[in-house]
Chains A and B, each alone.
Chain A
Amino acid sequence: MSDPLIRIESIAKRFTARAGGVTTVFENVHLAVEQGEFVCLIGHSGCGKTTILNILAGLEPASDGYVFVGGREIRGPSLDRAVIFQGHALMPWLSTLGNIAFAVKSRWPEWDAARVREHCQKYIDLVNLSGAEKKRPAELSGGMKQRVGIARALAIQPRTLLMDEPFSALDALTRGVLQEEVLRICAETRQTVFMITHDVDEAILLADRIVLMTNGPSAKIAEIVVNTLTRTRTRYTVHKEPHYYPIRNHLVDFLVSRSRLFNEALPAGYDPKHPPVVAPGLVEPPPAASGGPVRHAEKAVVVNLRH
């Protein structure tokens, strides 16, 4: 196996509580992300998802452990790791073009204005914002603002894209459209993406692998789910894929109960360095499941008897 692009080794985040004790948000987190891979991290609020992303971005130090990108340990933020923030984080005094140009000029300070403009326009067109170049963020809808955020991140041509619940503040329709575009853009650019979400459908639609985190405190990676759906999925057809429901049920089951119970009883042989990798899409549905209608009939019979 070649060296992965991102390697997280045993990172932890701890806070000193006011009473004097130490609160461990998460610990012993190991993860590797390959070049060109789209990895989603799912977990409940408070499990430290955003902290992990901030550590990857270099915005926050880890209490423990190391992060390597391209074989080098990271020291602070870098233009190689672009971040798409949850709340778009656009500068309200700059136009769409101004916001993207600010990033482009940071990446290539030696470029002249015409070259910057041309480069920005390419990414404005990519996220379908042509015509809104001169608008300030206040004049844009939530979805358009997030498009600017995506264009700004992609325009600096980073090696990895880090997304922190980028669509959570959007309405369902806009979210769907933007997910589709991210899917298209990532397919075109083979961008390496690490994304945080709490939306199961979003993870299945976008990710190659879905990392499940247990609830905090002392959150850890419970398992890694391989998304066995075809890469050419769209949001209109994804739920018709045969593997869709087994994967979805697995994820929902995890979020509903197993994320909470996992820490109480660690499975035998659990190794945080190599959390179990599962592919629920490939597991043959157990006979009970195929016999669903029969059980349903039995239930109906019971109901009838009661009458």
Chain B
Amino acid sequence: MSVKGLQYWGAPLLSLAILLVFLGIWHASTRQESGARVVDAEYAKLVGAEAATGKKSAFPTPAEVGAKLWGHLADPFYDKGPNDKGIGIQLAYSIARVLTGYLLAALVAVPLGFLIGMSPLVYRAFDPFIQVLKPISPLAWMPLALFTLQDSSVSAVFVIFICSIWPMLINTAFGVASVRREWLNVARTLEVGPVRKALRVILPAAAPTIMTGMRISIGIAWLVIVAAEMLVGGTGIGYFVWNEWNNLSIANILSGILAIGLVGMVLDQVLARLTILVTFPE
């Protein structure tokens, strides 16, 4: 392979090799074993006769997970009652909750961050509240949300709202507060009005910092939704994973985990692209 070819294909080939090694180890450690092993009868009932006799591990092989995954992908949107919905429907519920909570948070955080960033006085006044509220685990709000909002689905959205607001708020305030003095001076010498200055000078100058905060937020929101849905139940990918744990279907759990990872990656990449759009070269 030429040097140029290696530069281009080297990393993907290595990634593929790592994947194959991982699958190989997984396959080797879960493959069928010969010889009967006697275990507790209760456990045998729980995990199935084959696993209990040692013929088969309770942990699925890569091929089994692959087959399950293919099944999910072939029919992602079926709905056969509350506990049997396609993985696509569950993901759609989760994404809808995340986007609702996230956009509501952005609607509050960006203007409020702007206000905080514009005035050192307001900045100092808000700072203690932000510092105390920021480290609170979003799930700690859940009981309070369930009590006040009295709706599990709305509570999940609220948890997303409260966890994604802080990075956006802090980054917006920081971005606005650190707009270069010289750009503000240009605006002043041109007698630019406050609204025009905010929209045409401060916003574009702070946009990369704001977008970085939004990217951090979407990542946290996607982390939190799984836990929140495990708590509130009903629908969503978090509930799906928990439900499959109750069904003791490890293959389904693994399918769910993979789906969570892939959706999270897509959300992050979308925000990364948007960040590049508003970033200016210095």
Which residues of A line the B interface, CB within 8 A? 57-59, 76-79, 81-83, 85, 87, 89, 91-93, 102-103, 106-107, 136, 138, 156
Contacts and interface: CB of A to CB of B under 8 A. Distances in A.
Interface string B191-208: 110001000110011010
Contacts of A138: 280-282
A40 B101 CA distance: 59
B205 A93 contact: yes
B205 A87 contact: no
A87 B282 CA distance: 13
Given A91-B183, A91-B204, A138-B281, 15 more contacts: A57-B189, A58-B188, A59-B189, A77-B189, A79-B189, A85-B182, A87-B182, A89-B183, A91-B205, A92-B281, A93-B205, A93-B278, A93-B280, A106-B191, A107-B190
Contacts of B191: 77-79, 106
B183 A59 contact: no
A77 B280 contact: no
Nearest to B279: A93
Q: Contact residue range for chain B? A: 10 to 19
A103 B280 contact: no
Interface of A is mostly: loop
A72 B90 CA distance: 70
Nearest to A139: B281
A102 B190 contact: yes
B76 to A, nearest CB: 41
Contacts of A57: 189
Interface of B is mostly: helix
Nearest to B204: A93
A87 B183 CA distance: 11
Contacts of B201: 91
* CB-CB nearest 8 A-B residue pairs: A138-B281, A106-B190, A89-B182, A93-B280, A92-B280, A77-B189, A77-B188, A93-B204
A156 B186 CA distance: 13
21 contacts: A59-B185, A59-B188, A77-B188, A77-B189, A77-B191, A78-B189, A79-B191, A81-B189, A83-B185, A83-B186, A85-B185, A85-B186, A87-B182, A89-B186, A91-B201, A93-B205, A93-B280, A106-B190, A106-B196, A138-B282, A156-B190
Given A85-B182, A91-B183, A106 B204 contact: no
- Most A CB within 10 A of own CB, among B191, B278, B281: B191
Contacts of A136: 280-281
A91 B189 contact: no
Nearest to A158: B189
A91 B281 contact: no
